[in-house]
Structure formats: structure tokens, C-alpha cells
Structure 1
Amino acid sequence: MSDNENKVYEVLKELNINFEKREHPAVFTCEEAEEFTGDMKGVHTKNLFLRNYKGNHHYLIVTKDSKTLNIKEFEKKIGEKNMGFASKERLMKYLGLTPGGVSIFGLINDETNAVKLIVDKSILENEFINSHPNVNTATLNLSVVDLKKFIKWSGNEFEFMEI
């Protein structure tokens, strides 16, 4: 188990957050994950790490795995222009993660709270959420109430919006 994954479990324990863990082979797409986690209760998520054109604002977007993010519409909602996916170097610098392991729990590694979290409001309609623990070889299931507790703990700026 990696240090990055261990940090997730340490923080969840510190916050008294219960979760179920399912280990599986490495997955790189939502479709691949579905094969191993499709029967888990709750909403399945995908996580996107974006930056603005200047590279001075970074966003972690968490949405249902079935949704597609229209970047142009998203830019209008948050008042940015020319957004794109952040490089793997930026992903490592800001969230301490590698491609395939992008997760809301990457906020644990954002010690300067430089990344703004955007969570799709539709996720809040569910009782449970599924997310990687900063590695793509496991999926955690936890309550949305506990997810909100984690988000507040992170100290990152966040917003719930329609995506």
C-alpha cells in the first residue's frame, strides 16, 4: 500500500469516517471501473483536474461518472477562459497524484489549499459515494454526509454546482 493511500485512511480514521474498501486491478477509465465496482451502492464518480490558461488557478471537478463536462460551459459558470486539463507534472505538484489515481482525496496533499474543489450538485442527491483512495487499484464507499465532513476538513475552497 502506498503512502498516498495510507494518508487517506489515516485522515478518514481521524475524522471518524466509516468506509468500505474494494480492491481491484488498476483501472484507468470509468468503464473499466464499472467492471469491478458497478455493484457498489451509491454514486460512482469521475475526477478531473483542470487549470486556467495562465496556470494560476487549478480546479478539481468531481461529478457522476456518467456525466460529460462541457469545458466551455464550465468556464462561463466559474468566470474562466481557455481552460484545459492540467499536466501530469501539475497533478503531482498540487495533488501529489499520478494520472489514473485522481481523487477528491488528493486534497490531502494540497497543503497550501491552492486547488478549488467543484462538486456536481447531483452527487448530493445520493446517500453514498464511491471514489479512489488516491490509487486506481481500490475504491472506497462512504456516505455523502461524511464526504462533506472531509471536504470541510481539507480547508480548500469548494463549491457545489450543476455540471
Structure 2
Amino acid sequence: MDASSAHQDSLPLSSDALLERLRSWGIGFTYHEHVPLRTVEEAKSVEAALVEPGEVPFRLKNLYLRDRKKRNYLVTLEQDREIDLKALGAELGIGGLSFGSADRLMEFLGIRPGAVSPLAMATGVETGVIFYMDAAARNADRIYMHPLVNDRTIGVTPEDFERVLEHLGAEVHWLEL
């Protein structure tokens, strides 16, 4: 199965159910449907249609990682930030970082490759995933991310993003990179 909304009912939490939760919490967001996006490069092809004129957006690159001790991490960075896993591990004080498998991604974050997003902490909180996010997101007008599927993108203000994390019970470790 791919990571599109056509298969959202096979996820622990569907995209539709997540969006309904956001609405019930009073979270305002922009909503966009588009072709399935699997990479940052593919995302860049549709970005112009998402961003409002004059807006300072924060576009994400999400990494699902594991360490030698089998702890799971979701690391969300600005999409154009260069990443060296060894250097990132040193910055975080974590040794032996590597990418997690697709099976573990589903087990620990409830999503498929191509749809990794901070919103997956809806499942990650329950499975002990540790969440790190680029502090530069706090300076954006809007943060853009997939709502658990890769053919939809929502945009939220940094303030509403932090409210979402509070509702999810997700602790965020802000990275000053």
C-alpha cells in the first residue's frame, strides 16, 4: 500500500479522523489536496500553490530514526537543511542513529514512508517516540505538513502547532541548529 489517503483506513488513525480532531480542538488550518509526494524534491513541485503571498513558510523534512538502544525518534527539520546523521547524533547526545524501517515506522508512528509528519506523534506518544523539531519553525507564519497521508498538506501557525502537540500529549525538544 502507498501512503495516500486512498489507504488511510488501514492506519491506526486515519487522516480524516485526525483532521476532525484538529477541528474539534479549534485548530485553524489550511488544507490542500495534491498528487502523492514522497520526497522533498517532489514537495517543492507543489509548494507554490500552498503558500499564501507574502507568507514565511516552514516546510518540513522528517526523519524517523533509531539509535543503538532501539529508541525511536522523529526529527523534523527545515526541508533544505543538510543532515549528517553522525553530527546530528552528536548534537543530540545520541549514538548510532540510523533510519528506521517501514515496518517500524508503521508500528511506532502509525504511518507509511512518504507521509512522515509531526502529526504522527498522535501514535508516537503512545509508543514512546522522542520528538525533536527545528526551532526555526517558531519564526514562520505557517508550518506545512502531511496529515498522516502524502496526498494532503495542511498549514498551521506555530502557535496552533504547539496547541496540537499539547492536545496530543507530545513533548517537543526544540533544536537550535
Query: What TM-score do the two structures reach when normalised by structure 1?
Result: 0.92
Alignment correspondent of 2:46: 36
1:98 and 2:112 correspond: yes
| Structure 1: runs of 5 or more not aligned | none
* Paired letter, 2:21: V
Distance 1:73 1:67 in 2: 13
Q: What is the CA deviation profile of residues 17-41 of structure 1, one whole-angstrom value per residue up to 9, with x for unaligned ones?
A: 0111111111111111111123433
Length, aligned pairs only: 162
Alignment correspondent of 1:87: 101
Whether the aligned pair in 2 keeps the contact of 1:115 and 1:156 (CA below 8 Å) is no
Judged with a 3 Å threshold, the aligned counterparts in structure 2 of structure 1 residues 113 and 157 are, in CA distance, closer, same or farther, namely farther
Whether the aligned pair in 1 keeps the contact of 2:30 and 2:156 (CA below 8 Å) is yes
1:138 and 2:131 correspond: no
The more displaced of 124-133 and 38-47 is 38-47
| Structure 2: runs of 5 or more not aligned | 52-56
Over aligned residue pairs, what C-alpha RMSD do you find? 1.5
Distance 1:84 1:5 in 2: 27
Query: 67, 78, 90: which one pairs with 1:52?
Result: 67
The more displaced of 149-158 and 123-132 is 149-158
Q: What is the CA deviation profile of residues 94-153 of structure 1, one whole-angstrom value per residue up to 9, with x for unaligned ones?
A: 111000011111111235250111010111111211001111101111111100111122
SS in 2 for 1:134: coil
Q: What is the CA deviation profile of residues 10-69 of structure 1, one whole-angstrom value per residue up to 9, with x for unaligned ones?
A: 2211221011111111111111111112343321111111010121x1111111111122
Query: 127, 151, 154: which one pairs with 2:141?
Result: 127
Stretches (4+) displaced over 4 A: none
Whether the aligned pair in 2 keeps the contact of 1:114 and 1:156 (CA below 8 Å) is no
* Paired letter, 2:17: K
1:25 and 2:40 correspond: no
SS in 2 for 1:28: coil
Distance 1:23 1:29 in 2: 16
SS in 2 for 1:33: helix
- Aligned residues: percent identity? 27
Distance 1:128 1:17 in 2: 13
